[in-house]
A = this chain, B = another copy of it.
Amino acid sequence: MTELNGGVCAPKGFIAGGIHCGIKASGKTQKKDLALIYSHSLCSAAAMFTKNKVKAASIIVSQENTADGKLRAIIANSGNANACTGQEGLVHAKRMAQLAADAFLISPSEVAVASTGVIGVPLNIGVIDANIEALKASLRNDAQGNDDALEAIMTTDTRKKEFAIEIDINGKPIRIGAIAKGSGMIHPNMEVPSHATMLAFITTDAAIIPSALNTALQRAVKYSFNMVTVDGDTSTNDMIVIMANGEAGNPPMTQESSGYDVFCAALDKVCAALAKMMARDGEGATKLVTVSVNGAGSEIAAQALAKSIASSSLVKTACFGADANWGRVLCAMGYAGADFDPQNTDVSFKSKIGEILVCEKGKTVSFSEETAKKILSEEEIEIIVNLKEGNGAAVVWGCDLSYDYVKINGDYRS
C-alpha cells in the first residue's frame, strides 16, 4: 500500500470542489459551505447512515438515492444540518439533489445529499440555487479540488481529514481516497448504518459490484468509525458514502474475487486513518486517547469495556489533566455492562516516551507518579487494559475533555 495525496481526487475519474455560497455567515473570511464530488462514470455505491431516530432531511433523501447501489455525485453543505425542518427540509434536500443532477444532466437519484451544522434552522436553499454553476465551475481533478470540497464540509473541525492510498490488485493499480469531517457529536452507532455529525466520502476507481462494496464498507466502519467516541452524542446527520467508478479497469470484483480481501484491507486502513483523525480532532481535545482492551471473554465485551472507558467524562478529564487516576478506568469498566473480573485486571498507560503499569490484578502497584504524568502529558496516549481471560480485543479512539469543549459547545450557534 502506498499513501497518496489528493484525497477523493486521487482515484481516476473523480472531480471535486467547494465554494462559499452563503449558508455560513460571511465574515472577514468567506468560509466554504458547499461541496460536490462527481464521477465521470456511473459508480457502484454503498452508504451508511445515522441510527438516530431523528434523521436529517439529507439522510432520508440519500437513503432513497443509494438504495439501488448506484451514484454519480455527492452534494454536501455545512453550516446547517437541515434537520428538524419538517416537510420543507425534505423539499430542500431533494432540491439539492436536483440542482446537482441538472448541472451534469444526470438523474437526481444518482446524487447523495449530506448536510452538517445547526439543527432546526430552515436551510437557505436560495443561495445553493444561485451558486450551483459556481460550484460546478470549482470542480477539479486534483488535490486542490479535494481540498476545496474538504473545507466546505468542515464545521468546528480544526484539522483537515483526508487520506488516500494505492494498492495493487492482480497487477492493476487501484486507488481509494477519502475526506471526512467530524469533531463534535461524535459517538458511533452504525451497526448497520450510522455515526455522529461525521461525514465521510470515499471514492475508489476499483470496479466492484455494489453488494461487495457494501459488505466491505460495513466491515471497515465496524472497526473504525464505530470505534470512535468524542462526546457520546450520536448525530442526526451522520453519513458515510463510498463510490466506486471502475475506471481502474480491473474485472469487476465480487466477494469471491481474489483481490477482494486486499481491497477490504485497504478500505479498513482508509477508514481507520480517518477515524483516528476524528478522535484527535474531537471538539476541544488536546490529545488522542487510544483505549485498548485485550484478553476479554469476547470481542463484544472488549468493545463495550473500551467504549465505556473512552466515553467516561471522568477518564477524559483525567487524561486532560495528565492524572494517572486509573481508578476511574476500572470504575468505567464496572458500569459498562460487560462481564470481567476486576480482581484480574491490569491497567497501563502508554505514550511514545514509555509505558507504565498502574494497576495489577485490580489494585494499585507502586509506580512513579512523575513518570506517569510525563507519559500522560503527550499528545497521543494509550490506556491499555488486560483482562487475561480470553481472546476478545478492541481498540477505541477517543480524546480528552477540556475547557475548550465547554467553550465550543456553550454557545455553538452564535
Q: Please give the residue numbers on chain A whose beta carbons come within 8 Å of chain B beta carbons, in ascending order.
A: 51-55, 81, 83-86, 89, 118-122, 184-185, 187, 189, 231-236, 311-314, 317-318, 320-321, 323, 325-328, 330-335, 339-340, 342-343, 359, 361-364, 401-403, 405-414
Copies held by the complex: 2
Q: Across the interface, do B406 and A314 meet the contact criterion of CB distance under 8 Å? A: no
Contact check: which of B51, B317, B326, B334 meets A52 at CB < 8 Å?
B334
Bound complex: CA A146 to CA B114 (Å): 59
Q: Across the interface, do B119 and A334 meet the contact criterion of CB distance under 8 Å? A: no
Contact check: which of B53, B89, B119, B232 meets A340 at CB < 8 Å?
B53
Distance of A405 from chain B, by nearest CB (Å): 7
**Which residues from chain B contact A52 at a C-beta distance below 8 Å?**
331, 334-335
Bound complex: CA A187 to CA B342 (Å): 20
**Which residues from chain B contact A326 at a C-beta distance below 8 Å?**
84, 119-120
Interface CB pairs A-B, < 8 A, 25: A52-B334, A52-B335, A53-B334, A84-B326, A84-B362, A86-B361, A86-B363, A89-B363, A118-B327, A120-B326, A121-B364, A122-B364, A184-B314, A232-B313, A233-B313, A233-B332, A234-B331, A234-B334, A235-B331, A236-B334, A313-B313, A318-B409, A320-B410, A325-B412, A405-B406
Q: Across the interface, do B54 and A409 meet the contact criterion of CB distance under 8 Å? A: no
**Which residues from chain B contact A118 at a C-beta distance below 8 Å?**
325, 327
Distance of A144 from chain B, by nearest CB (Å): 34
Bound complex: CA A56 to CA B256 (Å): 53
- Contact of A53 with B120 at beta-carbon distance under 8 Å, contacts A321-B410, A406-B317 already known: no
